[in-house]
Amino acid sequence: MSGAGRIVMAHGGGGEATRLLLEERIVSKLGNPILDPLTDGAVLHPPDGPICFTTDSYVVRPLEFPGGDIGRLAVCGTVNDLAVMGARPLALSLGLILEEGLPFDLLDRIVDGVAAAAEEAGVPIVTGDTKVIERRGDDGMLINTAGVGTLREDARLGAARVEPGDALLISGRIAEHGLAVLSVRENLAFDTDIRSDAAPLYGLVDRLLGSGADVRFLRDPTRSGLAGVLADLAEETGFALEVEEEAIPITAAVLHTADLLGLDPLTIANEGKVVAVVAGADAPRALEALRSHPLGRRAAVIGRVTESEPPLVELLTRGGGRRLVQRPYGEDLPRIC
Amino acid sequence: MDKEGIRGIVDEIAALASGSDRMNLMEVCGTHTVSLFRTGAKSLLPETVRLVSGPGCPVCVTSQAYIDLAGELALRPDTTVCTYGDMVRVPGRRGSLEALRAEGAKVAVVYSARDALAYARRNPERHAVFLAVGFETTTPATAATVLEAENEGLKNFYILGGHKRIIPAMHTLLSAGEVPIDGFLCPGHVSVVIGAGAYEPIASHYRKPCVVAGFELEGMLRAILLLVRQAVRYEARVENTYGAAVTVEGNRAARELTERVFEPSDAVWRAMGRIPESGLDLRPAYRRYDAMDRFGLSFGSEVTPHGCLCGEVIQGKALPTECALFRKKCTPREPVGPCMVSMEGTCAAWYKYGPARAEGGGNR
């Protein structure tokens, strides 16, 4: 094949080159009985009951980072969106948009990332699409994944169910994904052992929902971090939140690195964490359930829902002070001085 | 340090300050502004000790005319403006760089001067102009980049000079005498370069206590305690609670690097006007890297957005809450002035972290 081991426009032409690319590099790794016929659509036979349907696009740069890559992210992100809706993931679609010039070996690693994450999540890729676009810059690849899941009967989730007195939990240490990606941005590269936490969370959510605790609300704190979810929660529920900084799980390395960059760890992205609101009395049970799963070992109760006015998020800081928590406007940037 | 230890320092500050009128301490540096909020220090301090912001946020002190020039450069078809991200949202006369970029102007966000140099290398057919802003902390890096461009013979890299020196600005604030300041919480990172000794003239000439601090809660509170203690005893010395990083004489190598490439010059600060020796110009040997020269630019008039008090805020003359635009017409979503834009801007910090409930008090 021409192109010296890289994607060329012909790979998107729908002809022989496209067919070969799919067979050799994609379907061979993701194959399953629903995908293999390569028909124009996948036929699913979900059990009775409501279906949850979600989609997400992934544009992360660089494509690979400590602890993961755009492929792993694309699977985990969509599986997690289903999970926090209280849906059992059933199937995913995979849309690849490749730029000409993309090296095959990089593409191979990313498809491997997709395959491994899908296996981990126990969700098949049942349909997909591949397009090639003209080169825009370096290492170009975009992914869209959509997912369907079946809504669990025991999941009664929503901001409307949140009440004062409820407990606020997080399943583990924060800010690792965002810092891992920053650490390999071409222009900011710094040495760190921090790795992305990207992981499929349905197993963890299953444990939590199956524990019998009254779970009122779930969300994964991705872009805009824990701060974003807390701000959403206060806005959507109309209740204030009180959060203990000391209770939020975080490593010393993350604290130090964020501090060095002038970033607030609360606003940094996670890709393998879930924030849960549960009835106050059920907090111990919920915590135990989360901690019983490998992805929830470091889960913690970090705060509570209160009736304070106005309905804002207040952080009780390590030193005993108070401050507000708000969602960042865009992506927070490292400081200048 | 545990909560009890922190409480102990706060109690001591309160006890010392209780016998006097309200004290005004100025945190010179934008990172302190943010850290004082983020750590909860603001909420712990007694009403008798008020912290006001100083002219130490690089984006906030940058003149409107500079922002307008950056916009003009970005609109040139063959030019890319490379800038720290914080600068892209500051409104200029033709809109912010972010808005201009959406209209097709070339603006690349970089994290360092070297990053801009790398852009110039990768794109030999374009002029790359780095918006060189920041205090003594970032200047050596810009200087090193100019030397690197010189060594390589790069012909398409320029800087739009906007670096500032903090001590002349403190002189200007104090000699104007419009703001009652009882002491300075001096910047951590800048002092690593200029040394704690740089504040001696401020302490002795104007009789103002100066204490250098890092950005941890304990270090900042200890520094505030030292400032209050000096103030109630009518002392004025330079002290340093950030000894781990800051020496009396600072980082000579970094300063020499700056001096090799730049010479002090007058510079215009937002709302403070022209301050002698407070800026840096490229020396004649490196003048060809000056975007102003290369593209024949000159600063236009300084136009402040109507009603915006950013200029007063960075001089400690006004609190964000005293600006009629704050939280109403001016928010992080639609900022009017730079103090609401910058990650280290005072208004942004007040907006983001400010008191949840109106409790009155000096830091509310």
DSSP-assigned states of every residue in A124-151? -EEEEEEEEE---SSS-EEEEEEEEEEE
A interface mutation test: which of B43, B88, B123, B191 has the most A CBs within 10 A? B43
- Nearest Cβ partner of A322 from B1, B40, B138? B40
Cα torsion A188, A194, A196, A201: sign: negative
A interface mutation test: which of B10, B27, B39, B135 has the most A CBs within 10 A? B39
- Does residue A334 belong to the interface with chain B, where contact is any CB pair within 8 Å? yes
* d(CA A335, nearest CA chain B) in Å: 7
Alpha-carbon gap, residue A96 to A91, rounded angstroms? 16
A259: chain B residues, CB-CB within 8 Å: 215
- Nearest Cβ partner of A336 from B38, B84, B215? B84
- For residue A53, the cross-strand partners are A148
Strand order in the sheet with B107-110: B107-110, B79-84, B127-134, B157-163
- pTM reported for the whole predicted model: 0.92
* d(CA A211, nearest CA chain B) in Å: 35
Alpha-carbon gap, residue B193 to A99, rounded angstroms? 45
The residues of chain A scoring below 70 in pLDDT are 1-4, 138, 337
**pLDDT digits 0-9 by tens, A205-225:** 999 999 999 999 999 999 999
B interface mutation test: which of A181, A188, A337 has the most B CBs within 10 A? A337
| A317/B137 CB distance under 8 A | no
Strand order in the sheet with A275-278: A215-219, A275-278, A167-170, A300-306, A240-244, A313-316, A322-325
pLDDT tens for chain B, 364 residues long, are 899 999 999 999 999 999 888 999 999 999 999 999 999 999 999 999 999 999 999 999 999 999 999 999 999 999 999 999 999 999 998 899 999 999 999 999 998 999 999 999 999 999 999 999 999 999 999 999 999 999 999 999 999 999 999 999 999 999 998 889 999 999 999 999 999 999 999 999 999 999 999 999 999 999 999 999 999 999 999 999 999 999 999 999 999 999 999 999 999 999 999 999 999 999 999 999 999 999 999 999 988 889 999 999 999 999 999 999 999 999 999 999 999 999 899 999 999 998 755 543 334 3
Which pLDDT does position B80 carry in this prediction?
98
Q: Which two tokens stand for residue B140?
A: 């050596």
Which pLDDT does position A4 carry in this prediction?
67
Alpha-carbon gap, residue B138 to B86, rounded angstroms? 14
| B40/A333 CB distance under 8 A | no
CA angle B330, B333, B337 (to 5 degrees): 40
| Cβ count within 10 A of residue A200 | 27
- Nearest Cβ partner of B58 from A186, A324, A337? A337
* d(CA B11, nearest CA chain A) in Å: 13
Which pLDDT does position B303 carry in this prediction?
86
Residues 260-319 of A with CB under 8 A from B: 262, 264, 308-310, 312, 314-319
